[in-house]
Amino acid sequence: MQTSSTPSANKPPASDGHGATTPYGRDFLEAVPKTDLHLHLDGSLRLETLIELARGRGIKLPSETPEGLLELVFKESYRDLPDYLHGFAYTSPVLCDEEALERVAYELAVDNLAEGVRYIEVRFAPQLHVREGFEVAQVLTAVDKGLDRARREHEASPAVRERGEPPFRYGIITCAMRLFTAGFAPYYEQLLGALGQWPSKEVYGIASMSLARSVIEARDDLGLPVVAFDLAGAEAGNPPSDHVDAFTFAHRNFLKKTVHAGEAYGPESIFQAITLLNADRIGHGTRLFDAAGVKAEAPERYVRQLSEYIADRRITIEVCVTSNMQTMPHLRRVEDHPLGRMLRDRLSVTVCTDNRLVSRTTVTDELAKATDAFDIPPQELRNVVIHGFKRSFFAGGYREKRAYVRQVIDYYDQVAAEHGVAPQAPSRGQELGPASAESPSS
């Protein structure tokens, strides 16, 4: 990874400099097959591409150089969540047509492949990119074209055809918004204009239901790899209950669910995501153990029972360490992040980037920080990495997924042997860790 302040053409800017010196060696972490299950398309552009797309579409940026944007927008640290989200005011508007979406999706896949990531689930809110004559299905198709082009190129490479590396696979996750204003995008402006007398929360629910119907139709009629439905946006004050109908519709149509929860609100938000929206995975979940934020009686017991339920049901938490540290001032060190406790309590976790540009990070960076801060022995690291593949919302059939995971496990072990990282047999009590990597289905 480039260490200067200006990103290369193929990689995001340098990480935020929390000093991760992984005990495994960066070469090993880059070489092993990895996943990114929490990856926002509009937060992961190349800077040069953002500048070029903005210039071609008449969108004004605070600076037209990578150095200037890194100083003014995509910083090493942020004051708070609103400051962190400010960059999306520039990235999202440039993704307004097929060419831009296809290009950014393609480059994102290529950048992931360059650091050994072999499976990604790219998420975004299609309604942010809808324009007149450019509807949800066309938005999804453009993103799929870019990802599929990278897949086909990698699959034809000697690494796959001759050396047996796992091929690249991907899925698309579509995000409904907890709330929106007319300024978010033309689609929302038109919807709010047409339903101006309606309670805003009902309008949010209508938008979510419309999206759910559109993406399921795109999956079933067009064969697009839409693998899950998500709920994103301002968490506090915008409960999941506004979107129950949309998630129930997704559930009844066999579309998996992941929900941003426990990022800007406490454990009760995670509980609602699971019980009201049937969440299969939780995005972030950083405040899972925050008993002080619980309004229910016996907060400590509530948190304990919730975390035990999540562990027992293997509801996977998509952990984004760098992003959380940039938006939560109380996380001063990586060691303060609840990932350590999640691992100790044997929760199902996977390590993700959230936003490669906005957080200036990569999957390798995230693994380096985690292994530097927490005691993660080789067997547990193997389990966590492989678990990302197992708990993915794989677009193919179950038998195909099992075969793919088996190939990934075998390749991981090959890389580990080449780097002298031999997984140790789990000690007593560790057999029920994040996932046993011995079986493709565990």
Known catalytic residues are 263
Concatenate the DSSP letters of all residues of 105-149 into one string. Answer: HHHHHHHHHHTTEEEEEEEE-GGGT-BTTB-HHHHHHHHHHHHHH
Q: With left for phi above 0 and alpha for psi between -120 and 50, is residue 15 left, alpha or beta?
A: beta
Looking at the DSSP assignment, which residues form a beta bridge with residue 284? 261
User: For residue 122, which of 137, 138, 102 has the smallest C-alpha distance?
Assistant: 102
Helix (H, G, I), strand (E, B) or coil at 231: strand
Question: Measuring CA to CA, which residue among 435, 341, 424, 329 is closest to residue 392?
Answer: 435
Helix (H, G, I), strand (E, B) or coil at 176: strand
Rounded to a whole number of angstroms, the CA Rg of the chain reads 21
Q: Dihedral sign, CA of 50, 56, 62, 65? A: positive
Whether the CB-CB separation of 430 and 320 falls below 8 Å is answered with no
In whole angstroms, give the CA distance from residue 352 to residue 355.
Answer: 9
Burial category of 292 from C-beta neighbours within 10 Å (exposed 0-12, middle 13-18, buried 19 and up): exposed
